[in-house]
Amino acid sequence: MNVGSRPRMDQAHVPGEGRGVVDPTLQTIRTEVAVIGSGPGGAVTACLLAEAGRDVLLIEEGPFLPLEATVPFTMGEMISKYRNGGVTVAMGSTKVAYVEGRCVGGGSEINSGLYHRTPPAILETWRRDYQVDGLNDSDLARHFEACERDVSVSLMPGALPPASLKLHEGAQRLGWKSLEVPRWFRYDSPAEPNAVPRPKGDRQSMTRTFIPRALYSGCRLLPNTRARKLRRLGGRWHISAQVQDPGAPRRAIEIEAGSVFVCGGAIQTPAILRRSGITRNVGNSLKMHPTVKVVARFPETVNSSAMEVPVHQVKEFAPRFSFGCSISSTPYLALGLSDHPAHLGEVHANWPRMAVYYAMITGEGSGSVRGVPGFSDALVRYAVTPQDLADLSDALRALCRLLFQAGAEVLYPSVSSFQPLYTEADVARIPDGLPKGRTNLMTIHLFSTCPMGENPRLCATDSFGKVHGHDGLYIADASLLCTAPGVNPQGSIMAIARRNALKFLGQL
Ligand SMILES: Cc1cc2nc3c(=O)[nH]c(=O)nc-3n(C[C@H](O)[C@H](O)[C@H](O)COP(=O)(O)OP(=O)(O)OC[C@H]3O[C@@H](n4cnc5c(N)ncnc54)[C@H](O)[C@@H]3O)c2cc1C
């Protein structure tokens, strides 16, 4: 397509649809910088570049919905803000179910907001093995601090959720390290008059923070638009994309940019690059935090329809594994009991006394992302190793012990055909190495498919996210994290995106 020959170009914005949303009928758009994907990596990048006066177009496959368009952690939210309604799986002898956000703001719109900085020991591994320059604790400190201010990282005021406190209580009895994890939440903003009810406080997702800032600074937003392929022509990047406005037929759009930041997340970024023939160290090294769940029933009430997001994590065994309490609404309890169908009735009868807990390992396994001709979804594979199954087993045993110490009367681990546990002595029934194929693993943390660094054997980009061997092409998302960080990753993704955007602007 001859960019520039179309009658309707650039600058047009749809009146009334909000500042910066691009006229969806355009057929070609020219921009200085295109950012593909508006999750934490893409939103931070687009915002900083727009605030520095760059002409930025932010392209997002999913819809532009306000945070309060859906009630958090409901089926409605999964249908409208998750990729494939939340049904996605990494194939392998032990499958791992995973989920990704697919909306303006990406995963930040649907997550729990639990915040950690990257542990110094992890940064040390990245510097040593991947030869990442400029990634000391002190190099990152100012980026962490800035992002923490920008998204209001803070502790939960008032009484903490009882199911979360149970975890803390069990850890204290065993003398294990447990902490309240801060979140990107503001607790001072009053609920809007007609808003759908949501838990106390206001999650500082990307649509609440970096995206409005980006739009205010002139960034243009193209939602419902899937970038399919990139190609380099005449020293510029051309992005073939497809607009998928709800209720309208799909149509092609061509975007021409001087520089492109690919920020589709750890699965979609390598998928886009591989579709475009960019394959060196791309999509070969998927890492994740494989997670096993346990549903616990206590003698007293620990759950309610107004329960806040649980905030405690047990870090006694980190980085090998950690525990936490999950969202425990009735659909999540029912899902957690799907390995114990004879006990599903418990959810209806006893849900106020029940909650879901997880044990998450750092994981030494690895996986890949590959395109499949004729399919829009990539094939994701992940090999859980025998050591991972052993770590999961140790983690599950320790978590079950802790929950019995906290007073649980029955535990249902997410392992098919496994009898429920009724006493601490039953914990010994958990085998060394969880059974392959029968253990139902999931993850919400995916990374490392395009590692950054100067090690030519391992890295897809340089130390600051520029794709090796490709001028004007950058990555800024979870794909860059060299290995699994062992902690909730969004803090690392935002800080590294900020550092790399400032490097691009010559302001680092
Ligand atoms: C349920 C859940 C709970 C979580 N809880 C926490 C937590 O408490 N704390 C924490 O730190 N982390 C949490 N995470 C993880 C965190 O949300 C992710 O690590 C983070 O969002 C990843 O950021 P990203 O920028 O790499 O990609 P994403 O957030 O995945 O954003 C990528 C965006 O790119 C878009 N995109 C993809 N492909 C294309 C394409 N071809 N064209 C256009 N757009 C495209 C996607 O639609 C998406 O919106 C959670 C995740 C989930 C799913």
Residue 233 CA to ligand 1 center (angstroms) comes to: 30
- Residue 205: pLDDT band with limits 50, 70, 90: very high
Between the alpha carbon of residue 94 and those of residues 59, 97, 213, 382, the distances in Å are 35, 10, 43, 8
The angle at the Cα of 370, spanning 368 to 374, to the nearest 5 degrees, equals 155
Q: Determine contact, residues 311/200, Cβ cutoff 8 Å.
A: no
Is the pLDDT confidence value at 196 over 50?
Answer: no
Positive or negative: CA dihedral 182, 186, 190, 196: negative
CB 29 within 8 A of CB 39: no
Share of the chain above pLDDT 90, in %: 82
One of 168, 312, 340, 445 is an active-site residue; which one?
445
Residue 197 has pLDDT above 80, yes or no: no
> Ligand 1: does its nearest atom lie under 6 Å from the Cβ of 445?
yes
Question: What mean pLDDT is reported for the chain?
Answer: 92
d(CA 419, CA 413): 9
Q: What is the pTM of this model?
A: 0.94
- pLDDT at residue 189 in the model: 54
Q: How far is the CA of 102 from the centre of ligand 1 (A)?
A: 8
> Above 50 in pLDDT, residue 508?
yes
Cα dihedral value 270, 276, 281, 282, nearest 10: 10
- pLDDT (tens digit per residue) in 228-237: 999 999 999 9
Question: Is 343 known to be catalytic?
Answer: no
Using alpha carbons only, give the angle 70, 76, 81 rounded to the nearest 5 degrees: 70
- pLDDT the model gives residue 18: 54
User: Is residue 274 lining ligand 1, measured as CB closer than 6 Å?
Assistant: no
CA distance 257 to 255: 7
The three-state DSSP-derived secondary structure of 271-286 is HHHHHCCCCCCCCCCE
Average pLDDT over residues 292-304: 97
Q: Which of 14-28, 45-59, 309-323, 408-422 has the lowest mean pLDDT?
A: 14-28
